[in-house]
Amino acid sequence: MSDNFPFQNPEQLQQWHQGIKDANRNNIFCHCRACGYEWMDSAFDVTCIQCSSKDIKSILSWQFPDD
């Protein structure tokens, strides 16, 4: 492996991949295109709790910067 590779062994790489999967599963930002309501969820196939619309934009929230 390269000197720039941040993982010492394949298990560390697997742990990193699992962390990304966990973040994806538990941190989904949802925006209702119909009424504008926004919330966090753990699924992509959701219905707006304000207006019952299925027209939802879902974004993996870990992609947003913290600042």
Do you know the residue count of the chain?
67
Strand partners, 39: 30
Do residues 55 and 39 make contact, with C-beta atoms less than 8 angstroms apart?
no
Q: What is the mean pLDDT of residues 16-29?
A: 79
Predicted confidence band of residue 7 (pLDDT cuts 50, 70, 90): confident
Q: Which residue would you say has higher pLDDT here, 32 or 60? A: 32
Residue 42 binned pLDDT confidence (cut-offs 50, 70, 90): confident
pTM for the whole thing?
0.62
How far is it, in rounded angstroms, from Cα 36 to Cα 60?
18
Domains, in order of start, for the chain: 10-63 (2.20.28)
